[in-house]
Structure 1
């Protein structure tokens, strides 16, 4: 019997603490737990703006994968590859699109157009496409012309989390997301400045991926008089991050766009009421009754939503209960891996994926 195997090509450091990298890591682990031999193929860190050297390296690594070994290519690389790189491969390609690259916030129009055309063309070369949410699936159908039967939703899994009754005092508002424009931490800061008459503290946990944007956030917090009440904590891992979730009373992410948003699942697993934005996959991810969603880029609306929870303990408790019920019902990572294993098995058998 031929061993079931696969390759998983991921640009940059697999240990990076973003939702996409966490997804990739847990999927590799889950597939291995299902007895599939998965080889991690590291690609250069410059994707989705690859240097010529990283593109050449990717071409060599991907061309070396044999034709009987399906390869999952993370969307950061898949959407930005030269067509010649994919044309030079013999292995079946499974594209993993966390969210379309052209939907990243703050892109110049010419860059957005280039990424759109590149990603659309590259997706045509995939035997199958994996996405984390129905929202991304619908975008690929409506905006990229991908047939729906070529797409499978493999929803991120969630680990069971404790729900602690002892909370921080004053109430802790927690945001988890890398420091970049799309995550909307600047909107959160402006909203918090409108609530200076109420007792609260806030932590933004997330690595300063975009150093210029991170510097702007630090300056903005100072200009708004928030430096003593808001901690821009940078990268927070393990027990320290778990402690923040456990002691927080509100999870707040003023995101401008999400293809899914693993942090929302985490917040619900911890039973936290959520304040976020009605954009991308957020409405499908945040369970009914667990959150208040407002338009993106609207600090006034975001402040009003936070004030609703800070000022109404009964509403806060009811939303926390709804969040905890939704979190307890979320699937685990074994289910995610099982969905992907089904696609890989069909490719192994020579069946349409």
Structure 2
């Protein structure tokens, strides 16, 4: 009988945080344990990728205390920002979990972006292997960070089947889901919706206040706009409430500026929703062409045109929705994600 290799999964902050990355890692941790594998969860300081000196030192101490006979699966928020000198002294073999490189985050000043790029590049040389959610992220690590393709494996996120029956509402509901952070492009969506005041619709934006100043700016945009009574900034919602919105929606819209994968697109697909988003990052690889309208990022006029196209053409909405429902049956489950990661743990990189 093959012995399943044990591991420690180190993740910053609350593992129940509602973002795509945390959902992925929480489900991956559970999936690896469900295999009968001994996997310990290690909580690191929540402040990564911007820890204080004391938090950086505490994280390094925690990682250096790990035994060398357990694989360290290290979350990318920590891996891409932790001091290379400290990481080099970690005895446990490292499997880096990179959702997307930290230097590609929106809104970084050039000096900060350069520091993160250099840190992550140097730290990648210390990892035995790298786990990523998409071919797009793999290609970035190969082309920009010099990682060998043989040292990277893809474990695509899984999806749960919808628990609610589709119940589209009228007027059409436009649903957007993503933390209130500049990278998610909710400002572009709000600006686009302001161009559609002549049409009948309502919109709900779901997402926690990850970036409070930006969240306040979004609320002000809505209140100053010409459709303030039709756009709801709902904040973070319980899962049952979110699933109800997915079942009622007619269009999923996310004007993202960058995604390393985008689990929420698969969720929209599983609910049979046409998707309007941006041609950036892993988005074109994640959303099947048959269900999407993609426009350039940061272009509210083009985003509005795409929404108008679907709002004015019920037949096209139905066609894209039908394609989404058919394609959803081929989406992987979370057990498939864990199986891919387990194969890496038990493979030659950690033999």
TM over 0.5: yes
Partner residue in 2 for 1:93 = 94
Measured against aligned partners, the alpha-carbon deviations of 1:285-316 in whole angstroms (never above 9, x if no partner) come to: 00121110000000010000000110001100
- Taking structure 2 as the reference length, the TM-score comes to 0.97
In the alignment, structure 1 segments of 5+ residues that lack a partner are none
Partner residue in 1 for 2:290 = 289
Partner residue in 2 for 1:221 = 222
> Are the equivalent residues in 2 in contact too, given 1:160–1:328 (CA < 8 A)?
no
Partner residue in 1 for 2:6 = 5
Partner residue in 1 for 2:239 = 238
Q: CA RMSD in A?
A: 1.3
Partner residue in 1 for 2:304 = 303
Displacement of 1:12 in angstroms is 1.4
> Are the equivalent residues in 1 in contact too, given 2:206–2:233 (CA < 8 A)?
yes
- Displaced runs of 4 or more, over 4 A: none
Partner residue in 2 for 1:250 = 251
In structure 2, distance between residues paired with 1:347 and 1:141 = 20
Partner residue in 1 for 2:156 = 155
Displacement of 1:226 in angstroms is 2.7
Measured against aligned partners, the alpha-carbon deviations of 1:55-107 in whole angstroms (never above 9, x if no partner) come to: 11111111111111001000000000101221121100000000000010111
In structure 1, distance between residues paired with 2:68 and 2:275 = 46
Partner residue in 1 for 2:212 = 211
In structure 2, distance between residues paired with 1:102 and 1:301 = 27
In structure 2, distance between residues paired with 1:23 and 1:321 = 27
Residue 40 of structure 2 aligns to a residue in which SS? Answer: strand
Q: Is the alpha carbon distance of 1:348 and 1:259 closer, same or farther for their aligned partners in structure 2, counting shifts above 3 Å?
A: closer
Residue 204 of structure 2 aligns to a residue in which SS? Answer: strand
Measured against aligned partners, the alpha-carbon deviations of 1:116-156 in whole angstroms (never above 9, x if no partner) come to: 00000001100000000000000001111111000001100
Partner residue in 1 for 2:176 = 175
In the alignment, structure 2 segments of 5+ residues that lack a partner are none
- Number of aligned residue pairs: 350
Partner residue in 2 for 1:46 = 47
Partner residue in 2 for 1:120 = 121
Measured against aligned partners, the alpha-carbon deviations of 1:16-56 in whole angstroms (never above 9, x if no partner) come to: 10000000000000000111111111010110011112111
| 1:265 equivalenced with 2:261 (yes/no) | no
> Are the equivalent residues in 1 in contact too, given 2:71–2:350 (CA < 8 A)?
no
Partner residue in 2 for 1:338 = 339
In structure 1, distance between residues paired with 2:349 and 2:299 = 49
| 1:65 equivalenced with 2:66 (yes/no) | yes
In structure 2, distance between residues paired with 1:262 and 1:348 = 27
Residue 289 of structure 1 aligns to a residue in which SS? Answer: helix
